[in-house]
Amino acid sequence: MPARVLIVYNQPVLPAHDPQAVAERAVFDTVTAVRRHLDRAGFDHERLAVGRDLAASLADIARLRPDAIFNLFEGLGDDPRSEARAARAWESLAVPLTGCPARALRLAGSKHLAKRALAAAGLPTPRAVVVTSLPFEACGLEWPVIAKPALYHASIGIDALSVATDKAQLARRVEMLLSRYVGPVLVEEFIAGREFTAGLIEAPELVTLPAMEFEFDALAALPWPLMTFEAKWCPQTDEYRATPGRHGAAIPRALAAQLGDLAGRAFRRLGCRDYARVDFRVDAQGRPWILEVNPNPDLSPSACLAGALAAAGGDYAAFVVSLARAALARSPRRRLTRAAALH
């Protein structure tokens, strides 16, 4: 009997006019690609869109009884903690999930908690303070600093005004972030320098793909060189055009090795599984700093991870299928069936 895989993804909840809707809706491309490749590999598969009703998704999964869940649920656009919460609920059904476990989604999904865990393991991350209310003291940090909503990803809440050079600017920014976004704000030293992201794939050995660089066009007169929401999601903007991603960037060999080593250690430290991406900045002295770890990063065929895989000579279709197979291999039910067949 072919294995039955349920592709679970988020039902967009933000209205179409919301500036962040584009990021939330991007999951549809991934669902299309994953369906195509599972289909070609002979899997029996179905889709399940999950919105606000987590209990309904649990009932649906219990009824459908898949052998594995292909987890493309990135959380609801207005509820950043929902990604880890949903994964934890589905784990309770004892159906294996592709990608990172709920615990890693929760830890890495809280940038401040992830930083603490990375720092405790001796991994370099920029100095920072966590702000939960006003007024606050950005004690001891060196200017400039960047303020980020700690629970979000995809550069939500990051724009040209994210970087502050004095107390008044920072206070205005933090006040705005605290009022608009759920959760604390992370105020972090701004690392000027090259930016890289390194994809990791565990199939089953952990491999770090060559890092991709985000270039900052010096001629574009960006207020700050950084990957804002527009730079990531809005192709018609100057910021997008001025921040191209490049695979195969010239990286000194020692630095490439360091990025690979740090990415692998960060992956393990946060308890990631199957695939993840680690973002870096490299300072003027050539020292790499981990900005964040992305568990279950964007899996679409046009995203950084797929690009890095292709640049390294890997095959996206085979990768998608290997994720389903890895989850199935964790299925207690299929293990029992196989064991029964042997007797």
| Minimal distance, residue 235 CB to ligand ADP, in Å | 17
**Shorter beta-carbon distance to ligand ADP: residue 192 or 317:** 192
Candidate segments 20-28, 116-124, 146-154, 266-274, binder of ligand ADP by CB under 6 A: 146-154
Question: Residue 270, interface with ligand ADP (CB under 6 A)?
Answer: no
Fill in the DSSP letter of residue 283.
-
**DSSP-based three-state secondary structure for 322:** helix
The mark string for 264-283 relative to Mg ion (x by CB under 5 A, - otherwise) is: ---------------x----
Query: How far is residue 127's CA from residue 277's CA, in Å, rounded to a whole number?
Result: 21
**Shorter beta-carbon distance to Mg ion: residue 189 or 279:** 279
**Shorter beta-carbon distance to ligand ADP: residue 67 or 213:** 213
**Shorter beta-carbon distance to Mg ion: residue 24 or 279:** 279
| Minimal distance, residue 5 CB to Mg ion, in Å | 28
Query: How far is residue 33's CA from residue 246's CA, in Å, rounded to a whole number?
Result: 23
Question: Residue 202, interface with Mg ion (CB under 5 A)?
Answer: no
294: tokens are: 């992305």
| Minimal distance, residue 216 CB to ligand ADP, in Å | 9
Q: 246-249 contacts: CB < 8 A, separation 24 or more? A: 246/212, 246/213, 246/214, 246/215, 247/210, 247/212, 247/307, 247/308, 247/310, 247/311, 248/210, 248/311, 249/196, 249/211, 249/212, 249/213, 249/215
**Shorter beta-carbon distance to ligand ADP: residue 24 or 189:** 189
Name the helix (H) or strand (E) containing 198.
strand 194-202
Q: Cα dist. 335→174, 203, 342 in Å?
A: 51, 19, 11
Question: Residue 67, interface with ligand ADP (CB under 6 A)?
Answer: no
Question: Residue 153, interface with ligand ADP (CB under 6 A)?
Answer: yes
Q: Binds 24, which of Mg ion, ligand ADP, none (CB < 5 to 8 A, cut-off by type)?
A: none
The answer to whether the beta carbons of residues 50 and 11 sit under 8 Å apart is: yes
| Minimal distance, residue 228 CB to ligand ADP, in Å | 7
Helix, strand, coil percentages in the chain from 3-state DSSP, rounded to 5: 40, 20, 40
User: If you count them, how many residues does the chain have?
Assistant: 343
Backbone angles phi, psi at 254, to 5 degrees: -65, -40
The mark string for 80-119 relative to ligand ADP (x by CB under 6 A, - otherwise) is: ----------------------------------------
| Minimal distance, residue 18 CB to ligand ADP, in Å | 17
Nearest by Cα to 163 from 142, 136, 184: 142
Question: Residue 189, interface with Mg ion (CB under 5 A)?
Answer: no
Kindly list the residues in this chain that would bind ligand ADP in the complex (CB under 6 A). Answer: 126, 146, 148, 153-155, 158, 188-191, 195, 226-227, 279, 281, 291-292
